[in-house]
Amino acid sequence: MSDTRQVTIIGSGPAGLTAAIYTARANLEPLVLEGEPSSTSDQPGGQLMLTTDVENFPGFPEGIMGPELMMHFRSQAERFGATMLTRKVAKVDLTASPHKVWIDSGDKPEPDYTATAVIIATGAQSLMLGLPNETELIGHGLSTCATCDGFFFRDQEIAVIGGGDSAMEEAMFLTRFASKVTIIHRREELRASKIMQDRAMANDKIEFLWNTQVTGYLGDGKLSGVTTENTVTGETGEMALSGLFIAIGHKPGTALFTDWLDIKENGYLVTEPDSSITKIPGVFACGDVVDDYYRQAITAAGSGCMAAIDAERWLETLHD
Ligand code: NAP
């Protein structure tokens, strides 16, 4: 027998947990399938679980550690009656009404949970290089978000990896703080749009290191530099750095939904403009799984609130 809910939320980052707070306070008793610990984090909770100081989340004038912030989100949702389940969703069937959700394995004929409304908040992951010590160094010199961490690198020499628009944008933003920003790119040609390339190249504080792949991180507990390899000549080297920003793209968590929902060319879920409504009635999406532009905890939280209100109003229409 499946457990049936009015609202089931998939994901437990700022978007999912804000949706949980709002739907719980609307007496909808949401179930949050929060995911499971991963190789990069011993708790689910999204990208903030990998972040150290968060200084740009309103309400914390002294800043707060990412995992602590997520614990606050979680206990606030629980306080109003959200049920948290630390399990991974294996399969969904979004055409059925109520919608069906399987956890652990999708092989069973009957789903584990059914829900009238489903809020998808499965987030996105920054692509990483996959080098040793990468996870440990995040927040200790290694970052995936210039907006979040640029402030910590005032007057320092730092680098950005990547050759796309994100790398150009991150590098330009970082020149507000750093004394020098080196863009390390594995080829000799940028993937970024012409206008972004021109802006980065015209910036006196930006230098380019072409045909170069970072092959390792230096530093014990805190990044002090990188080892490099020239992708054309094979020549190896070392570079001293106090900060390194990885800007090689993002992967939204859409794998469960590709059979059911529309996906943009860049992999993000499609919702109606300025709303969380997807093409399937009763299915809403919010946070970084739909946002390829802002990618901030506060915007994800705001969009989780929108999804909760959209779900709540849609559920009300069923009683009309
Ligand atoms: P992207 O366009 O996919 O570029 C990723 C870059 O990272 C590429 O230069 C790629 O190198 C490099 N890369 C990938 N894997 C790597 C690895 N393992 N080691 C080293 N380098 C690696 O991603 P994005 O820059 O995040 O942009 C995503 C989309 O958002 C794009 O459509 C972009 O136009 C858009 N965007 C727009 C703006 C804006 O207009 N303001 C800002 C940000 C993003 P190769 O070039 O060799 O493949």
Question: What gap in Å lies between CA 268 and CA 262, rounded to an integer?
Answer: 9
Token pair for 53:
């100081």
Q: State in Å: Cα 224 to ligand 1 middle.
A: 25
Q: Give this prediction's pTM.
A: 0.85
Per-residue pLDDT of the chain (320 residues; tens, 9 = 90+): 678 899 999 999 999 999 999 999 999 999 999 998 765 555 677 778 767 778 889 999 999 988 899 999 999 999 999 999 999 999 999 988 899 999 988 899 999 999 999 999 999 988 999 999 999 999 999 999 998 899 999 999 999 999 999 999 999 999 999 999 999 999 999 999 999 999 999 999 999 999 999 999 999 999 999 999 999 999 999 999 999 999 999 999 999 999 999 999 999 999 999 999 999 999 999 999 999 999 899 999 999 999 999 999 999 999 87
Q: Is 255 helix (H, G, I), strand (E, B) or coil?
A: helix
| 12 close to ligand 1 (CB < 6 Angstrom) | no
Question: What gap in Å lies between CA 210 and CA 280, rounded to an integer?
Answer: 46
Residues forming the active site:
145, 148-149
Instruction: Compute the chain's Rg from CA coordinates.
Output: 21
Nearest to 309 by CA among 94, 26, 10, 6: 26
Q: Is 118 helix (H, G, I), strand (E, B) or coil?
A: strand
For a ligand 1 pocket test, name from 191, 198, 213, 227 the mutation site with the most ligand atoms within 8 angstroms of its C-beta: 191
Question: What gap in Å lies between CA 113 and CA 198, rounded to an integer?
Answer: 52
Nearest to 285 by CA among 45, 121, 123, 125: 121
Nearest CA to ligand 1 atom 37: 165
Token pair for 253:
């968590």
Nearest CA to ligand 1 atom 2: 164
For the residues of 26-78, what is the DSSP string, one character each?
A: TT---EEE----BTTBSS-S-GGGG-SEE-SSTT-TT-EEHHHHHHHHHHHHH
| 199 close to ligand 1 (CB < 6 Angstrom) | no
Contact indicator for 178, 194 with CB cutoff of 8 Å: no
| 251 close to ligand 1 (CB < 6 Angstrom) | no
Distance of CA 193 to the CA centre of its chain: 23
Helix 165-174 to helix 194-202 angle (10° resolution) is 30
| 304 close to ligand 1 (CB < 6 Angstrom) | no
Token pair for 129:
């290089």
Report whether the peptide linkage leading into residue 98 is cis, meaning its omega lies within 30 degrees of zero.
Answer: yes
Contact indicator for 189, 208 with CB cutoff of 8 Å: no
Nearest CA to ligand 1 atom 9: 163
Contact indicator for 304, 298 with CB cutoff of 8 Å: no
Q: State in Å: Cα 98 to ligand 1 middle.
A: 39
| 129 close to ligand 1 (CB < 6 Angstrom) | yes
| 216 close to ligand 1 (CB < 6 Angstrom) | no
Question: What gap in Å lies between CA 198 and CA 313, rounded to an integer?
Answer: 47
Distance of CA 163 to the CA centre of its chain: 20
Question: What gap in Å lies between CA 91 and CA 74, rounded to an integer?
Answer: 24
Q: State in Å: Cα 14 to ligand 1 middle.
A: 25
